[in-house]
């Protein structure tokens, strides 16, 4: 009997550092002897009912302990009679994620493999070199909803309403984070994410931070940085903020929960000057500057999480 979960799913959000984490997982799976199950499907996140059943069946019958990773919206295993695995994920500032994806689709990264040409072979030259400001200000489909409603569906799930920007999908995503995810980290604080993963899931992530900090690994990681990125004008960014207001409400909610978790386990963040929050109509999330009042034993808390 394993002291920690033997079934882990990382349903990675696109352009949120997942290739860096998968590089680490390949090393860790050899080091610790767990079964890393990856998928070659990168562009099918929404599944029919039969596709959900088939994927859940395939995942559930993998040799344990396993860690399954794929770009796919949240799957409810229990709905189809399966055991719900432990979920983990990482998100980032929504505008930064969007910009990274916009330029990656067009120009790839430093690996020089022309992956972007393979990924978007039918993209016309005028579209490939479309100025980001024009795309946003003139409301091209790629720079407007529903394309900008991207992060929340990974946590909301497979229901059709999860793809509709609005309160329903937002609240369902928050509920799933609370009930089904052991950890949702913030890419801007990746080292702390890795520290917590090592604490919570040592069978999978022991020594992950030392591997991540290794200069040779850093060289590999730097090759996955998107090239030719430019910064939109302040006017264009403000429009993106408005269009992504639900994404930002979710992002700040997850960030607040992540910081609560860090304080619970005694992690001290490096103090950086916070970026100003975008000014739109959603209220700022509840600030939690004081340590939470909790007499519960840390290990007991972990056991309860694993029993979910």
pLDDT tens digit sequence for 14-35: 999 998 999 999 999 999 999 9
Which domains are assigned to the chain? 5-267 (3.40.50.300)
User: Is the bond preceding 146 in cis, omega lying within 30 degrees of 0?
Assistant: yes
Pair 245, 282: CB distance under 8 Å: yes
- pLDDT, one tens digit per residue, over 113-143 is 455 555 566 788 888 889 999 999 999 999 9
pLDDT for residue 60: 93
Q: Which of 232, 231, 233, 247 is nearest to 280 (CA)?
A: 247
Q: Please report which confidence band the pLDDT of residue 254 belongs to, taking 50, 70 and 90 as the band edges.
A: very high
Pair 241, 248: CB distance under 8 Å: yes
Pair 110, 227: CB distance under 8 Å: yes
HSE of 160 in the Cβ direction (CA atoms, 13 Å)? 2
- pLDDT, one tens digit per residue, over 217-250 is 776 655 556 657 788 999 999 999 999 999 999 9
Starting at the earlier edge strand, list the strands of the sheet with 35-38: 35-38, 66-69, 7-10, 86-91, 181-186
Is pLDDT at 94 greater than 50 in this prediction?
A: yes
Is pLDDT at 89 greater than 90 in this prediction?
A: yes
44 vs 270, residue with greater confidence? 44
Pair 215, 119: CB distance under 8 Å: no
- pLDDT, one tens digit per residue, over 274-305 is 555 555 433 333 333 333 333 344 455 555 54
pLDDT (average), residues 95-124: 73
How far are the Cα atoms of 75, 80, 83, 120, 179 from residue 56, in angstroms, in the given order? 8, 8, 10, 29, 19
Is pLDDT at 181 greater than 80 in this prediction?
A: yes
Active site residues: 71
């Amino acid at each position: 009997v394993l002291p920690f979960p033997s079934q882990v799913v990382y349903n990675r959000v696109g352009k949120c550092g997942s290739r860096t984490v998968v590089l680490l997982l390949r090393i860790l799976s050899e080091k610790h002897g767990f079964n890393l199950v990856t998928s070659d499907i990168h562009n099918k996140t929404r599944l029919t009912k039969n596709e959900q059943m088939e994927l859940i069946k395939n995942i559930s019958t993998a040799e344990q302990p396993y860690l399954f990773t794929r770009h796919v919206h949240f799957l409810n295993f229990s709905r189809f009679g399966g055991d719900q695995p432990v979920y983990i994920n990482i998100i980032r500032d929504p505008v930064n994620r969007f910009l990274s994806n916009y330029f990656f689709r067009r120009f790839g990264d430093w690996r020089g493999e022309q992956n972007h040409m393979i990924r978007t072979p039918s993209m016309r030259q005028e579209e490939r070199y479309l100025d980001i400001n024009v795309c946003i200000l003139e409301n091209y489909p790629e720079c407007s909803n529903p394309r900008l409603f991207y992060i929340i569906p990974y946590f909301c799930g497979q229901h059709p309403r999860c793809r509709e920007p609005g309160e329903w999908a937002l609240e369902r995503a928050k509920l799933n984070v609370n009930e089904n995810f052991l950890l949702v980290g913030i890419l801007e604080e990746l080292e702390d994410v890795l520290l917590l993963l090592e604490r919570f899931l040592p069978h999978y992530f022991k020594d992950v931070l030392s591997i991540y900090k290794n200069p040779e690994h850093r060289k590999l990681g730097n090759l996955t940085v998107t090239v030719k990125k430019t910064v939109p004008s302040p006017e264009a960014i403000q429009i993106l903020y408005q269009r992504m207001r639900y994404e930002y409400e979710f992002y700040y909610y997850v960030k607040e929960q992540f910081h609560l978790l860090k304080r619970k386990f005694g992690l001290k963040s490096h103090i950086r000057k916070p970026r100003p929050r975008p000014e739109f109509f959603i209220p700022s999330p509840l600030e939690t500057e004081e340590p939470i009042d909790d007499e519960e034993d840390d290990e007991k808390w972990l056991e309860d999480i694993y029993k979910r």
